[in-house]
Amino acid sequence: MKLLTALAALGGCLLALPALAQKTTSQGIDEYRAMLQDGNPAELFEAKGEDLWKQKRGPKNATLEKCDLGKGPGVVKGAFVELPRFFADTQKVQDLESRLLTCMASLQGFNADEIAKTPFGKGEQSNITALATWISAESKDMRFNLPQSHPSEKVFYEVGKRLFFQRAGSHDFSCASCHGEEGKRIRLQDLPLLTKNPGDGVGFAAWPAYRVSNGQMWGMQQRLNDCYRQQRFPYPGFASDATIALGVFLGVNAKGAASVAPAIKR
């Protein structure tokens, strides 16, 4: 017992010595999550996304290799950690998925409105998710550094902040209801505080992610969609200004955090 006390005092954390100390549920869950890191099914979507980038598709029979994700046409590495940002050609602040929509329309001739109306996981939406998965993987472990130099980028940050705290809907929820205070959780899910940098690989830095509970690959747009559903709000629409503004707020707050996307989640 003396040895155990001394060891515990050293680290200040529970040492999970089998048969001597009870492992906490939280540690058990951490171990479970660690076991899933190797062999993340997101890799299947990454491979698909990379193929889609290089494949001639759409009415114009063109690839996406000239798509500008913010760092110049065709530059994929590092692009993910600087999105959302302002784009001169569309004169809009755009996130990754809305930018993919722009490129699929302008380079490949797809109908952007139709794709925006397509449910997640179907048709071209699943292709956008695969592309987003691959593009995020190309920036894995890089640190978020969203630009805030253009006036629109600053405006979108402020709009995102207002939306984050806006309480509405039948339950009077806001994003802040779950993500506005330190140390909150729903059952076994820790809810990161998103008004500041929540740390490497957390929150904004963890999507796109493969969700084991339904075996689906989710991009940030679908993640925000589901948050709105849980708040009993109608979804603001795929690649809408509202969702992009929230992305700017979350992404700028996460400045310096390392991206782990594509991650694996419950």
Partner 1 sequence: MQTRRETLKHSAVVAGLLASTGLFPQFAHAAFNKAAFDAKTVQDALKAMGPATLAESKDVTITGPDIAENGAVVPLGANTTLPNVKQLLILVEKNPSVLVAMFNMSDSIDTAVSTRAKMGQSSDVYAVAITADGKAFFAKKEVKVTLGGCGG
Partner 2 sequence: MADPMRIRAQASGDKATVRVLMSHEMESGQRKDANGKIIPAWFIQEVTALHNEKIVMTAEWGPAVAKNPFLQFSVKAAKAGDKITLLWKDNRGDTRKDEATVT
Q: Which is nearer to partner 2, 209 or 246 (CB)?
A: 209
Q: Which does 33 bind (CB under 5 to 8 A by kind): partner 1, partner 2, none?
A: partner 1
Q: Which residues of 24-40 are buried (b: 16+ CB within 10 A; e: fewer)?
A: eeeeeeeeeeeeeeeeb
Binding mask 121-160 for partner 1 (x = CB under 8 A): ----------------------------------------
120 is a contact residue toward partner 2 (CB under 8 A): no
Which CB sits closer to partner 2, 40 or 106?
Answer: 40
Q: Catalytic: which of 67, 175, 178, 227?
A: 227
Nearer to partner 1, 75 or 188 (CB): 188
Specify the residue, 135 or 246, whose C-beta has the smaller distance to partner 2. 135
Binding of residue 212 to partner 1 (CB under 8 A): yes
The answer to whether 41 contacts partner 2 (rule: CB under 8 A) is: yes
For the bound state, the minimum distance from the C-beta of residue 208 to partner 1, rounded and expressed in Å, comes to 14
227 included as an active-site residue: yes
- Residue 122 in contact with partner 2, rule: CB under 8 A: no
28 binds partner 1 (CB under 8 A): yes
Which of 65-73, 125-133, 160-168, 226-234 is the region at the interface with partner 1 (rule: CB under 8 A)? 226-234
Site stretch for partner 1 (CB under 8 A), options 97-105, 178-186, 234-242, 254-262: 178-186
Q: Which is nearer to partner 2, 48 or 223 (CB)?
A: 48
Q: Which long-range contacts (CB under 8 A, 24 or more apart) does 150-155 make?
A: 150/85, 150/86, 150/93, 152/86, 152/92, 152/93, 153/85, 153/86, 153/93, 153/248
Contact positions toward partner 2, by CB under 8 A?
38-41, 43-44, 47-48, 212, 215
Contact positions toward partner 1, by CB under 8 A?
23, 25, 28-29, 31-33, 35-36, 178, 185-191, 212-215, 226-227, 230, 265-266
Which positions are catalytic?
A: 227
